[in-house]
Chains A and B, each alone.
Chain A
Amino acid sequence: MKQAELVIIGGGPAGLCAAVSAASSGAKVLILERNNALGGQLVKQTHMFFGSEKQYASTRGIDIPNILLNELDKYKENVEIMTDCTIVGMFEDGVITVIHKEDKYFKVKPEAVVVATGAFEKSLVFPNNDLPGIYGAGAVQTLMNVHGVKPGDRVLMVGAGNIGLIVSYQLMQAGVKVVGILDAAPQIGGYLVHASKVRRMGVPILTSHTVKEAIGTDCIEKAIVCEVDNKFQPIPGTEQEFDVDVLCISVGLTPLNELLAMRGCEMKFVPQLSGSVPVRNENYETTVENVFAAGDITGVEEASAAMVEGYLAGLCAAAKLGHKSDDFEEKKADYIKQLDSLRAGPVGEKILSGIEQILVK
């Protein structure tokens, strides 16, 4: 069995920040990442980030992993990174089981763990939603921005949240025609600056609309959309057809929470946080001692918030293990202040009402 002081599960924005914060405090950190490279979703975010300077605002997401890895490199004697590691279990005795490179199985028992597994995409139910050409927005971004492959020529985007709007813009940057953006909600969910950006390129945004069905034989050829009423029920006679070869689904994310549930952490379904999330204290420690969580797994938000949560959880996990840096209180107060400020506006209201339900004092 492998020994470790602090295991961080997931090398995305939250996990990397947790690692920087814990390693700089003096904790020995082992990062376990499922993919073959670190960065999580950051590696496909070609747009500039919002927030303030401390959350790398106005830096492109794709450039943030390197900033964090350079930071991590300063404490390299405290850091071990293992990629291609799928965590298959977290057990009550603290043992974590891992499959490495698909064929090696090992166990690790750390003194503490930060779970930063992120979130996964929700889907949408409609007839023929399994036709080739119907993608999640994450897959479209991976094809385009990681592999340089155009997903198709004519795209209908479903979802006018930030991801739907941003991916539409990136599709147009890649030379793909976006025929429209739908959302079942009566209002655009994402930042309106993003909406205005795609709108002034001539892309219609149809709120109170949903996909009725996809049509095609070998792959999608048409999408039938219709208007919905204020109870999200289709209004007969409002159908419209779009000729498309890609239907991109961007209807939100939900926390990737299985490991925490398996470990026995108390979980709660909180719609404002987009799914089942761990009950936690202000240090981002769950109801199981020395099991911390950070990032989208604690509630789906922007990556800027995930990074600050990572810094905070890593700092507190290290302190719990006896690595309390001199400026612990100062840093902790700063991270809490940053999170408060990211959530202070109208966008944060929903998140704050969700956090209220899972925060134990």
Chain B
Amino acid sequence: MFEKTGVPSKEMVREIFPSIDRINKGPVAVIECYKEIPCNPCQTACKYDAIHVGEDINHRPEVNRDNCIGCAICLSKCPGLAIMIVDGSKSEETVQIRIPFEFYPLPKEGDTVKALDREGNVLTDVKVVKVLNPKSFDRTPLVTFEIDREYLYDVRNIRLEVQP
């Protein structure tokens, strides 16, 4: 189905997700690169030896979750915008999710935005906690928002309700 719709199944998502224990320990990268393509900038970008693609750049990246500190450098380097950071260490009710977001206007810290699933359906309202857009990210800003844990495996995008 994934090859027809572009929407990964729940099982595919679960398979690439870290354990809840790991998520609760602190920020960690989740890479949704489900299909082999010739690409390895995530590995090149990682300073912590936490992403492994290997000699054949067509291999899917593997995250070493012991090495990953969730620094998010790989997020703005991935040409597929396939990586997000999940952090469950801040609260027992919510998780913080950091995603690449290449759209104007950018949200501001404290804004309420719509959280979307992998088909673009609205899940709930969420609060933006951080927006990073330094020059080194080369026009791929990162937005962090806080969301109820029940949406952990479903949320993948946000949408701003743009005022005309």
Contact = CB atoms under 8 A, between A and B. Distances in A.
A binds B: yes
A51 B57 contact: yes
B118 A199 contact: yes
B39 A57 contact: yes
Given A47-B79, A49-B79, A193-B80, A199 B5 contact: yes
B3 A197 contact: no
A48 B81 CA distance: 9
B80 to A, nearest CB: 3
Q: Which of B34, B102, B118 is packed against the most chain A CB atoms within 10 Å?
A: B102
Nearest to A202: B120
B7 interface: yes
B155 to A, nearest CB: 10
Contacts, number: 133
> Chain A: interface secondary structure?
mixed
Contacts of B82: 193, 196
B139 A346 contact: no
Interface string A48-91: 11111100011110000000000000000000000000000000
A18 interface: no
B79 A196 contact: no
Interface in A165-212: 172-173, 186-188, 191-203, 205, 207
Contacts of B116: 200-202
Q: A interface, how many residues as a size bin?
A: 35 or more
Nearest to A194: B80
A146 interface: no
Interface string B128-164: 0000000000111000000000000000110100000
Nearest to A58: B41
Given A50-B80, A173-B103, A194-B80, A200 B41 contact: no
Given A196-B118, A198-B6, A202-B121, A345 B37 contact: yes
Interface stretch (A95-103, A272-280, A336-344): A336-344
A268 to B, nearest CB: 25
Contacts of B33: 193
Contacts of A205: 4-6
Contact of B56 (A187, A192, A304, A344): A344
Interface residues of B, number: 43
A57 B117 contact: no
Nearest to A189: B3
> Chain B: interface secondary structure?
loop
Nearest to A305: B38
B38 A200 contact: no
B58 to A, nearest CB: 3
Interface string A20-61: 000000000000000000000000000111111100011110
Q: Lowest 9 A-B CB distances belong to which pairs?
A: A202-B120, A345-B58, A193-B80, A195-B6, A58-B41, A48-B79, A199-B6, A50-B39, A187-B3
Interface of B: 2-8, 32-41, 44-45, 56-58, 77-82, 102-104, 116-121, 138-140, 156-157, 159
Given A196-B82, A347-B38, 16 more contacts: A48-B77, A50-B79, A51-B39, A52-B57, A57-B39, A57-B44, A193-B37, A193-B79, A195-B6, A196-B7, A196-B8, A200-B118, A201-B159, A203-B120, A304-B38, A345-B37
26 contacts: A48-B77, A50-B39, A50-B79, A52-B44, A57-B39, A57-B44, A58-B78, A59-B138, A187-B3, A188-B6, A193-B35, A194-B80, A195-B6, A196-B118, A198-B6, A199-B118, A200-B116, A200-B117, A201-B116, A201-B157, A201-B159, A205-B4, A341-B58, A342-B57, A344-B57, A345-B56
